[in-house]
Structure 1
Amino acid sequence: MTALLASVRSAEEALDAAGAGADLIDLKEPREGALGGVSLDNIWRIARTLRSRHPVKPISATIGDLPPDAIETIAARATEVGETGVDFVKVGVVPGPHARACLTRIAGLQAAVLPVLLCDDGVDAALVEHAVWLRFVGIVFDTAGKTGRTLFDCIDAATLARYIAMIRASGAMACIAGSLGWTQLDGIRALAPDVAGFRTALCENGRISRLDPRRVAQWADALHHAAPGAAA
């Protein structure tokens, strides 16, 4: 079964998503970019509110979109977000000259970091292998641009399948996101990642609009159950 990660920006959205069947609740501010960060105070408040109703529901939070060469700033922000008590801290990693050093730095933090490999221009196997070698709890493949191109437009399914197999063999979670919608459902099911993350597909009218719990429930059902006629 692929777990549904719902990205939310408020306590109200978090409660709606959890109540509608989302398996993981991810805190981010979509107005601030692909991995726009929620303030530390709001992360703490949302997490406290959510855990009062859903005490075992895993929570992640992004650190915000930071320059790829600001490695110490990235590490400091990840530490601060981790200290709010969330289960996972998501850190965007842009492939390029600073990516390997960034991965190495954040792997040494006390927080349970999920590196988010931004695949708009692809991602090479050596970087994925390095992330796997560093023994993160999970690795996310996502896109930075929210212009209609999906993860599957940026990296082919066969390559994703190889990376997912590599990650799983290490014992880590393999996660995908990146403007995914109903058109990509068959591809998601074929890959069967541990987690699939969504924002736009769960909202009433685009990613910065209100999350719709009915859409969350529809996606939870689609991910938690095999397609009709699929082999058991």
Structure 2
Amino acid sequence: MQILVSVVSQGEVAEAVAGGADILDVKNTREGSLGAAQPEVIRSIRTAAPPDCPVSVAIGDAPQLPGTMALAALGAASCGVQYVKVGLFGARTLAEGTDMVRAVCRAARSVAPRIRIMAAGYADGASIGSISPDDLAVAAAEGGADGCMLDTLAKVGDSLFSFMGPEPLGRFLARCRELGLASALAGRLGMADAPLLCELKPDIAGFRSAVCGGDRTGGRVDAESVRRLRALLNPA
């Protein structure tokens, strides 16, 4: 299981890498679950990270505006990163989700043909009528993405497992595998969630609050917390 650690500045890179993060995920926590960082922040993090450490960029909790998000994806892909992640916030149907993913993939790969695209949805998305986890995986595959992530909109209190239990999450992960997609889980996951994550076996598990003393916006990544997660998730 790869450990994705969300970082918000160049100053957090060394701690995340020292702790053993497999993927650095650049986001702006003040702009939402998958808030987009400024281009200069993305470039500074890519420069500070080891060349062999993949960097992912979130481009936002996207409204259903494929043209707008295609431009965002093109900009992110031009920063030398390995992943672009788009949150299907505004997509309500499979068709809308597929249109969004396709637009993002086409734009990003026009400047970086080997870049990997992750389509993200929300375990608590029913509260806003957002695309369902079942349709999310199909939209990701039909739109040409490389992987699919379930996250949460709510970032205070409840975690991913408060909104979806092991059975539906297991079905989501199985569907991703059937469709040839890399699978990822995130959403206020903590140390206590490690046993369940080990049972579910997503390809990637994403963390921010758990490695920042519980404060995703005001805290800073701590290398020892990342090490503890590595030991819990990959005990071998």
TM-score range, shorter chain: 0.7 to 0.9
Give the AA of the match of 1:9: V
Q: How far apart, CA to CA, are the structure 1 residues paired with 2:137 and 2:44?
A: 34
Q: How far apart, CA to CA, are the structure 2 residues paired with 1:137 and 1:61?
A: 14
In the alignment, is residue 84 of structure 1 matched against residue 79 of structure 2? yes
Deviation sequence 1:41-91 (CA, Å, 0-9, x none): 1111110121xxx2211110111334x222211111011001101000111
More moved, 68-77 vs 119-128: 119-128
Secondary structure of the structure 1 residue equivalent to 2:61: coil
1:96 equivalent in structure 2? 92
CA shift at 1:171, angstroms? 3.0
Q: Within 5 Å, which residues of 2 pair with 1:1-232?
A: 2-50=1-49, 54-66=50-62, 68-94=63-89, 95-97=91-93, 98-109=96-107, 110=109, 111-122=115-126, 123-208=132-217, 209-225=219-235
Q: How far apart, CA to CA, are the structure 2 residues paired with 1:133 and 1:102?
A: 11
Change (3 A) 1:65 1:15: same
CA shift at 1:124, angstroms? 4.3
Secondary structure of the structure 1 residue equivalent to 2:25: strand
Q: Is the 8 A contact 1:121 1:154 kept in 2?
A: no
1:229 equivalent in structure 2? none
Deviation sequence 1:81-119 (CA, Å, 0-9, x none): 011010001111125144343223223331422111122
Q: How far apart, CA to CA, are the structure 2 residues paired with 1:8 and 1:163?
A: 26
Deviation sequence 1:176-200 (CA, Å, 0-9, x none): 1011112322211110101000000
Q: Is the 8 A contact 1:82 1:112 kept in 2?
A: no
- Using the aligned pairs only, state the percent identity: 31
Q: How far apart, CA to CA, are the structure 2 residues paired with 1:64 and 1:107?
A: 15
Give the AA of the match of 1:105: A
Give the AA of the match of 2:231: D
Q: How far apart, CA to CA, are the structure 1 residues paired with 2:98 and 2:80?
A: 27
Q: How far apart, CA to CA, are the structure 2 residues paired with 1:69 and 1:127?
A: 14
TM-score normalised to the size of structure 1? 0.88
Task: Give ranges in structure 2 of 5+ residues lacking alignment.
Answer: 110-114, 127-131
Give the AA of the match of 1:107: C
TM-score normalised to the size of structure 2? 0.87
Cα RMSD, aligned residues only: 1.8
Q: How far apart, CA to CA, are the structure 2 residues paired with 1:104 and 1:154?
A: 28
CA shift at 1:30, angstroms? 1.3
Q: How far apart, CA to CA, are the structure 2 residues paired with 1:205 and 1:181?
A: 9
CA shift at 1:205, angstroms? 4.4
Q: How far apart, CA to CA, are the structure 2 residues paired with 1:100 and 1:25?
A: 26
Q: How far apart, CA to CA, are the structure 2 residues paired with 1:187 and 1:146?
A: 20
Aligned residue pairs total 221
